[in-house]
Structure 1
Amino acid sequence: MRLIHWGYQLSPFQIIMLSFLLLIAIGTFALMLPVATKSGQSAPFLTALFTTVSAACVTGLTLENTALYWSGFGQLIILLLIQIGGLGVVTMAVAIVMASGRRIDLMQRSTMQEAIAAPQLGGIVRILRFILKFTLLVEGLGAAILFPVFARDYGWINGLWMAFFHSISAFCNAGFDLMGEHGGGSLMGYASDPWVNLTIMGLIVAGGLGFITWADIHWNGMRFSRYRLQSKIILLMTAGLIFVPATLFFFLEFQDFPEEVRLFQALFQSVTARTAGFNTVDINLLSESGRLLLVVLMLIGGAPGSTAGGIKSTTAFVLLTSAFASLRRKRDVTFFSRRIADETNEQALTIFLMYLLLFVGSSWLISVVDGFSLVDCMVETSSALGTVGLSIGLTEKLSAFSQLILIMLMYFGRVGALTMIYALNKRSIPVTGRLPQEKITVG
């Protein structure tokens, strides 16, 4: 964990970046082995690289059908990449160090704190133990609930494998599936199955809330007033970002389906768009306004320190509350009798602008290079940048250049904007003086 390069100790942010690059390199090599494909031939480099990045960055975009192209060995590699990428390479590495009985040093604790967005350095080992136990419990419970359905449809052995695969994929918000062409792909064959719908949605939400939020709930029970401000914001934003879009989907989309099926489809698309990537309805059936709603949800994503990507629900909340405070001519941004730090407001604005520039620039560039409509390109780029995985079938039709753009977006979306900024910048220089201030008019 303590990496030294020419006498220079890497920062926690640089370690996080490099750890994902190392995971991607190993995964690409493994998927290029002939044993990884059903044909017994080595997968092309770009196919292996794209699949590895998508799995390690828990996105779900693919160039080949996971069930039909990859062998059992290849699917196992993909599942391992999803699990490691979902929990974080650093989290898994520190867990291995703990299991070996070795002491966790200060650098490892600091890196772990940044990787899981922990509020403080103290108690990191306790939080890590909670994360591992919580993950095993939720994924195991999800697999147990899904097993009867998949065993009925695919047999006991295949059903068990599919139950674990989809449980881990859903909890890690990856969106990879093994359905092949069953029901049209993804979970479309189970669009009206409440058992599968509710289980997958529960797993997605559980992974997207963030481990620190769950630790807060575990240690404080149902005493909402004792939760950290961040946990309160995450829970409220998550509820709003599920039920408001679901209501819009229900009344504006899927009009040709029975009402009970529409209810599940509307709720499922609202949940999965926040970085999961499963779908129970063909995304191409959505209107242009419906696709734009998906784009917004995909860009927002889940919570900090979770298995989800996107700009994060807390970032969106800070931007909204800052705007309201400005409109009301309030000096401070407050919520639940707490003042949000000015530094947090600045970071939220920086993250938003970075995502917006990458999203708009990538969508425009892909549209120009490959000639697809800008709205369709926006769906694919927001899906990659938000590490979602929802697709209108455009990804496999793109040129190699555009697919490389999606690869970079998936990596950026998983590592995170602030991690990239702090990793690439030099150490901050102490401010010894400040220039005179002068007001300018904006708006």
Structure 2
Amino acid sequence: MKFDVKEKPDLKKRKFSPPQILVLGFALIIAIGTFLLMLPISIKQDGRLSWIDALFTATSATCVTGLTVKDTGTFFTPFGQVVILALVQVGGLGFMTMATLFSLVLKRRISLKDRLLLQQAMNQNTMEGIVRLIRKVMVYSVVIEGTAALALTLRWAVEMPFSQAVYYGVFHAISLFNNAGFDLLGNFQSLTRHVSDPIVNLISMVLIISGGIGFIVISDLVDYRKHRGLSLHSKVVLSMSGALIAIGAIVIFIFEFTNPYTLEPLNWAGKIWSSFFQSITPRSGGVATLDIASMRHATQFFIIILMFIGAAPGSTGGGIKVTTFAILIGAMFSMIRGRDDIVMFRYRIVQERIVKALTITLLTLFLLIFIAMVLSTTESADFLSILFETTSAFSTVGLSMGLTTKLTVFGKIVICITMFIGRLGPLTLAYALGPKKGRELYRHPEGQMIIG
């Protein structure tokens, strides 16, 4: 009797935290995607897909990365491509967002636990207005993806059957807006054949930027007249994103201007389009109009830096996030100027945010260095290619210097884990695996230490 009484409370206490539910949810989606991609209906008759390649593709799609070991356009059937697209949409918006959508359609009440999960999934500081934000996310996604799909359909209808143009338009609109990087143009060429096409370039860049700045910023821009201004978050994201795009385009233009394999053969319009496109896509876009492997080492390393920084919080992109980078830059300038506080747009950044930014950056650096060192011992490639692949996987970018298809089974597993961690975020995974934080009962005395 005593044994039975003790068992019941223990069973009731076994509850999953929001980070743990997110980890398990994404893992379940990847498992389902792997199973569907291994079905004969997903693969063309002359193709063969191993379990590791199916797992890699499903992970890449769910984590909206875009690294591929099999060419999406030529290896998979329309059914397999739709499976990949569904994984991209669910992975990009988040499975909790999709679950909430169905709950709203069925007029089911959103519980407190669901709101906590949504807060964690959308990387929000508060639950206030979270369901309203989810409604906006769905509306913005449908409007942006639908408009882009129509524009791409009209563009491609001049060179392919209309039904195929519609299919291509919808697929690439969803893939680009979710910063996934999957394409159907064949032979791992990405968008290189549209290098000087202003329509495809412009639509693709707008989609990547829209998905990369995050739904909070989009909502702020839509409601700009209503609120007569932007939030601090939106101001930082837009200013930092604009600066990175402009600086990136200038650096790539200078480094690649005389490269006979990239910018040199193009006219001035093509050079400008390409410079801006290659500056925007490392933010998590995953498609390219130039051959990344043919770029100079300096450009490739610079793209690694852009991938490391990534997109904005609450977006479909990865990386340490532009707000984190902005806080680090702000801390540097504040220290140089001898000021105690980091001030942005007349707002002081609280200490907690600064510590979190440093933690995320250091965790990411340590993780990337460790993974790159491991892969350098198992893969037959130069270190720059390995570092590029590792950063691309963690930041869910999808750009590659050609290493993806040459990875060993162990290398593919490591990259899968890297993509998974990158999509969830190192802190979310740490919270999911680590013990629950308890209240500190005391504080240690303050100490002094020499730095610098």
TM bucket, shorter chain? over 0.9
Which SS does the other structure have where 1:296 is aligned? Answer: helix
Shift of 1:41: 6.1
> How do 1:101-116 and structure 2 match up within 5 A?
101-116=107-122
Equivalent residue for 1:317? 326
> Structure 1 residues 69, 111: closer, same or farther in 2, change over 3 A?
same
The aligned residue for residue 71 of structure 2 is: 65
Unmatched segments (≥5 aa) in structure 2:
1-9, 257-262
List aligned pairs for 1:340-419, cutoff 5 A. 340-419=349-428
Whole-angstrom CA distance in 2 between matches of 1:324 and 1:90: 39
Q: Does 1:246 find its partner at 2:249?
A: yes
Aligned match of 1:256? 265
Distance in 2, Cα, partners of 1:144 & 1:364: 45
Q: Matches of 1:391 and 1:122 in 2, distance apart?
A: 40
- Please list the CA deviations of residues 93-148 of structure 1 after superposition, one character each: whole Å capped at 9, or x if unmatched: 11111111110011101111121123421212211111101000000000011002
CA RMSD of aligned residues (A): 1.6
Provide closer, same or farther for how the CA distance between residues 41 and 377 of structure 1 changes in structure 2, counting only shifts above 3 A.
closer
Q: Distance in 1 between matches of 2:439 and 2:13?
A: 23
Structure 1 runs of 4+ off > 4 angstroms? none
1:216 aligns with 2:220: yes
> In structure 1, the residue corresponding to 2:183 is in which secondary structure?
coil
- Corresponding residue of 1:93: 99
| TM-score, reference length from structure 1 | 0.96
Which stretch shifts more, 128-137 or 369-378?
Answer: 369-378
Query: What does residue 209 of structure 2 align with?
Result: 205
1:150 to 149, 153, 156: 156
Deviation larger for 359-368 or 19-28: 359-368
Contact 1:116 1:211 in 2 (8 A): no
1:334 equivalent in structure 2: 343
Task: Determine whether 1:31 maps to 2:40.
Answer: no
What is the SS of the residue equivalent to 1:221?
A: helix
Distance in structure 2 (CA, Å) of the matches to 1:100 and 1:42: 40
Counterpart contact for 2:284–2:317, Cα < 8 Å:
yes
Are the aligned partners of 2:47 and 2:75 in contact in 1 as well (CA < 8 Å)?
A: no
Deviation at 1:42, TM superposition (A): 5.8
| Shift, 1:221, TM fit | 3.3
- After superposition, the Cα gap between the structure-2 partners of 1:424 and 1:220, relative to the gap in structure 1 and judged at 3 Å, is same
Question: For residue 279 of structure 1, what is the aligned residue in structure 2?
Answer: 288
String of CA shifts for 1:342-380, please: whole Å, max 9, x gaps.
111111111101111111121222122223111111111
| TM-score scaled by length of structure 2 | 0.94
Greater shift, 253-262 or 378-387, is seen at 253-262
Q: Distance in 2 between matches of 1:129 and 1:438?
A: 49
Report the equivalent of 2:235: 232
- AA aligned opposite 1:37: I
Q: What residue is the counterpart of 2:166 in the other structure?
A: 160
Q: Secondary structure at the match of 1:9?
A: coil
Deviation at 1:219, TM superposition (A): 1.9
CA distance in 1, matches of 2:124, 2:193: 39
Q: Give secondary structure in 2 for the equivalent of 1:308.
A: coil
Residue 118 of structure 1 pairs with residue 127 of structure 2 = no
Aligned letter for 1:228? S
Change (3 A) 1:371 1:42: closer
- Mapping of 1:134-145 within 5 angstroms? 134-145=140-151
AA aligned opposite 1:138: I
Instruction: Provide the aligned length of Structure 1 versus Structure 2.
Output: 437
Contact 2:30 2:59 in 1 (8 A): yes
Contact 1:33 1:42 (C-alpha < 8 Å) held by counterparts: no
CA contact (8 A) 1:34 1:43 kept: no
How high is the sequence identity, in percent, across the aligned residues?
38
What residue in structure 2 maps to residue 300 of structure 1? 309
Give 1:374's aligned amino acid.
Answer: F
State the alpha-carbon separation in 1 of the partners of residues 429 and 46 from structure 2: 38
Aligned to 2:7: none
| Residue equivalent to 2:61 | 55
Does the CA-based 8 Å contact 1:57-1:414 persist in structure 2?
yes
Contact 1:309–1:388 (Cα < 8 Å) also in 2: yes
8 Å Cα contact 2:255/2:298 also seen in 1:
no
Deviation at 1:255, TM superposition (A): 2.9
CA contact (8 A) 1:272 1:278 kept: yes
Unaligned runs of 5+ in 1: none
Alignment-mate amino acid for residue 431 of structure 1: E
Query: 2:190 matched to which residue of 1?
Result: 186
CA contact (8 A) 1:210 1:305 kept: yes
CA contact (8 A) 1:213 1:231 kept: yes
Q: Which residue matches 2:135?
A: 129
Give 1:5 shift. 7.4
Tell me whether 1:195 sits opposite 2:204 in the alignment.
no
C-alpha separation in 2, matches of 1:227 and 1:417? 29
